[in-house]
Amino acid sequence: MELADDLAYGIMSLRARAERQQAEEHLHRLADLQSAILNNTTYIVISATAQGIITSINPAGERSLGYTAEECIGKLMPTQFHDPDEMAARARIFSEELGVTIEPGFEVFVARAQRGLPNEYEWMYLRKDGSRFPVLLSVSALRDSRGNIMGFLGIANDITQRKRAEQELRESREELKEAQRIAKVGSWLWDPEPDTVTWSEELYRINGRNPALPAPRYRELQQVYTPASWERLRPAVERALQTGTPYELELEVIRADGQRAWVTSRGEAQRDASGRIVKLRGTTQDITARKLAEEALHRSEQKFETIFRSSPVALSVSELETGRFIEINEALLRLMHGTSFDQMVGRTSLEIGMITLDERKKITDAALRFGQVDRLEITAQRLDGELFMAEVSLSPYELEGKSYLLTNVVDITERKLAREEIHRLNLDLEKRVAERTAELAFANRELESFSYSVSHDLRSPLRVVDGFSKLLQEEYSAQLNPEAREYLTHISTAAERMDQLIRGLLNLSRITRTQFRRRPVNLSAMASNIAEELHETEPQRVVQFVIAPKLSVTGDPDLLRSVLQNLLGNAWKYTGKHPQAKIEFGAARIGGETAFYVRDDGAGFEADNTERLFNAFQRLHGAEEFPGTGIGLATVQRIIQRHGGRIWAEGAVEKGATFYFTIPSPKRQ
């Protein structure tokens, strides 16, 4: 009997030793898996002590933040990676939410985690070089078996790709549905006739209300739910009461203390013996608390699954040697137009026709040669046979002596098509630019030929006419009667005016062909110099010039001088019939830009004629009243346009005129 007992005891000892060995091997595999996950994930994972000193940072954190692990571990706090102003602003918000003072330091990141509350918010991370990038940061408390906080774990995701958050939300909802099966629930019963509602004690707890108080009536339940949730719940309840259709809804409730929580509300009809619906009964399940409890219980085992499953990027884990898929996420299944994980898991990319043998070799060769590979372009095929261009990133890793590939896949078909279209449009644009350039070159040659013809072929006969008319006046004046001498004067005057018109026309054509030189130009000094010149031409006139100081632009000095000479000269000319005059040069902010102006109190013009001012040879006053060629303002407009600006005018008859113009800075152009 003793021998049998000893034998049984030995068998039990061997069995216990084997179980311990299996457990240790399982822990080692789990540790290796977690290490592989942390080293290969693109998430930034940082752990810290309860006091906030960094205890670990994964390679993705080092790459993203620009710090080495040696620079961080035991030396820095996570606050090093955050903007002090942002921490202060978030501390004020959390202080109001939690009803306690939260300091704008490490406490702002862990205050909610310490209280078992959801703690996932958007933050701006600061790299070592000072640059910034947005992340979605989740901070969790790490607790021992007794529930004491040992430290904190922060997982940050670069949210530049906004769809990652959307995918996480969808998968969170799926996980929430699984958690609902084992969550505690509260029960309720509603009798519509007297409108009485009965709550179980658990339901009071879920809603944060005092069980000693009566439950809210149906009409008062609107205060328990958010407006959007009530608008979903109300028709479902009415439909159940009328037709007996059961409902199951996820709703947001507002607890008595003002905090919000998510619940699953289920309801069904209760009938009497005759089948008539007399009451509604159902359950309300607090899925917020259940989710937090489940995450706390399974955090270490589900770390990889959470990261892997929640990514909006198409991800897969496959055997490096065979290409057989071990795991895929929903994003990859959608990308492949699949309907079931079984269509891909356990099979190779070759077997499902995703890639060709050549593409498979291209991927494995790149992984073996370079290790981690970013954005390798391949041609792939979906499960329904549709071809698409893909960009894959590869991260090989070892686990239990076997090589695997962590791969993410991005559909770049639209991007490639867009690039090809842009390339085609660029080629077409270059062709059109070349054609337009050739046309402009031809037009310039024609313009130069015209200018030469005007300068030589037209002005020469005018000089002959003018010369002979003056010779007749000088040599034969005594022999001519007064009427003939008057005719000769008209001929000479007309020839001189014609010559002025030709010179103005030539000057107008040169504006667009003259070499353009940008220099800093002091417009105030230039205007003052022109004002002095005008005073010298008619010193007897009483004209006050008001010139604003320190008005400067960047432009062609010669062309801008021509602008001011024309505008100030016109102001001088059109105030000539007034015994006293005032001419101003200044600047004002109009429509968000600086506009310079020349203003006078002279003859002015009718507002209806504003558009004609800048047309060549269009004059609003007769030559006998105010001399001129009608070329000056057209010349000014072309100069302003060459500078990328615009010019306009305002005026009224005998109330003066104001001419505005803008000269944009070269950077703005």
Q: Could you report the per-residue pLDDT of 321-374, keeping only the tens digit for each?
A: 788 888 888 888 888 888 888 888 888 888 888 888 888 788 777 777 777 778
Which amino acid does the sequence have at 613? L
**The pTM is what?**
0.34
Q: Would the pLDDT of 36 be above 80?
A: no
Over residues 5-24, mean pLDDT:
63
Integer Cα distance of 642 and 661 in angstroms? 12
Q: Would the pLDDT of 173 be above 60?
A: no
Per-residue pLDDT tens digits for 308-324: 777 778 888 888 778 88
Q: Would the pLDDT of 500 be above 80?
A: no
Over residues 238-266, mean pLDDT:
89
Average pLDDT, the chain: 81
Backbone CA torsion sign across 560, 561, 567, 570:
negative
Q: What is the DSSP letter of 79?
A: G
pLDDT of residue 548: 94
- H or E element that contains 373: strand 373-381
Per-residue pLDDT tens digits for 260-275: 888 888 999 999 989 8
Integer Cα distance of 54 and 69 in angstroms? 9
HSE, side-chain direction, 13 A CA sphere, residue 431: 6
Give the residue among 469, 464, 458, 466 at the shortest CA–CA distance from 495: 466
Q: Would the pLDDT of 3 be above 60?
A: no
Q: What is the DSSP letter of 515?
A: P
Over residues 468-472, mean pLDDT:
71
Residue keyed to tokens 């600006």: 645
Residue keyed to tokens 């893909």: 390
Which 3 state secondary structure label does DSSP give 643? coil
pLDDT of residue 177: 38
**Residue 157 forms beta bridges with which residues?**
136
DSSP string, 116-183: T---EEEEEEE-TTS-EEEEEEEEEEEE-TTS-EEEEEEEEEETTSTHHHHHHHHHHHHHHHHHGGGS
pLDDT of residue 309: 74
Contact 27, 43 (CB under 8 A): no
Residue keyed to tokens 């002005």: 459
Q: Would the pLDDT of 85 be above 50?
A: yes
Integer Cα distance of 425 and 181 in angstroms? 58
Integer Cα distance of 190 and 11 in angstroms? 61
DSSP string, 599-666: EE-SS---GGGGGGGGSTT--SS-TTTS---S-HHHHHHHHHHHTT--EEEEE-TTS-EEEEE----T
pLDDT of residue 68: 93
Integer Cα distance of 468 and 473 in angstroms? 9
Over residues 123-128, mean pLDDT:
91
DSSP string, 296-328: HHHHHHHHHHHHHHH-SSEEEEEETTT-BEEEE
Give the residue among 601, 612, 604, 667 at the shortest CA–CA distance from 637: 612
- H or E element that contains 562: helix 557-574
Per-residue pLDDT tens digits for 280-299: 999 988 888 665 665 665 66
Neighbours of 143 (CB within 10 A): 14
HSE, side-chain direction, 13 A CA sphere, residue 504: 18
User: How far is residue 419 CA from its own chain's centroid?
Assistant: 21
Over residues 507-533, mean pLDDT:
81
Backbone angles phi, psi at 351, to 5 degrees: -65, -35
Integer Cα distance of 111 and 98 in angstroms? 9
Buried b (16+ CB within 10 A) or exposed e, 231-240: ebbeebbeeb
Backbone CA torsion sign across 31, 33, 38, 43:
negative
Neighbours of 431 (CB within 10 A): 10
Higher pLDDT, 498 or 422: 422
Give the residue among 85, 115, 87, 86 at the shortest CA–CA distance from 100: 115
Which whole-number Å values give the CA distances from 173 to 137, 144, 232, 236, in the listed order?
A: 19, 28, 17, 21
**Residue 158 forms beta bridges with which residues?**
135
pLDDT band at 574 (very low <50, low <70, confident <90, very high): confident
Q: Would the pLDDT of 117 be above 60?
A: yes
Integer Cα distance of 349 and 317 in angstroms? 12
Buried b (16+ CB within 10 A) or exposed e, 46-59: bbbbeebbbbebbb
Per-residue pLDDT tens digits for 55-66: 999 999 999 999
Integer Cα distance of 169 and 262 in angstroms? 14
pLDDT of residue 178: 41
pLDDT band at 20 (very low <50, low <70, confident <90, very high): low
pLDDT of residue 322: 80
pLDDT of residue 510: 62
Per-residue pLDDT tens digits for 618-659: 555 545 555 555 677 888 888 888 888 999 988 888 888 899
CA angle 397, 402, 407 (to 5 degrees): 40
pLDDT of residue 661: 94
Contact 98, 119 (CB under 8 A): no
In SS3 terms, 247-273 reads as EEEEEEEECCCCCEEEEEEEEEEEECC
Q: Would the pLDDT of 481 be above 70?
A: yes
Q: For the ranges 280-284, 400-404, 409-413, 587-591, which has the lowest average pLDDT? A: 400-404
Contact 330, 309 (CB under 8 A): yes
Return the structure tokens found at 246.
């059961």
Radius of gyration for the alpha carbons in the chain, expressed in angstroms and rounded? 43
| β-pair type (185-191, 196-199) | antiparallel
Give the residue among 309, 57, 43, 329 at the shortest CA–CA distance from 159: 43
Contact 52, 106 (CB under 8 A): yes
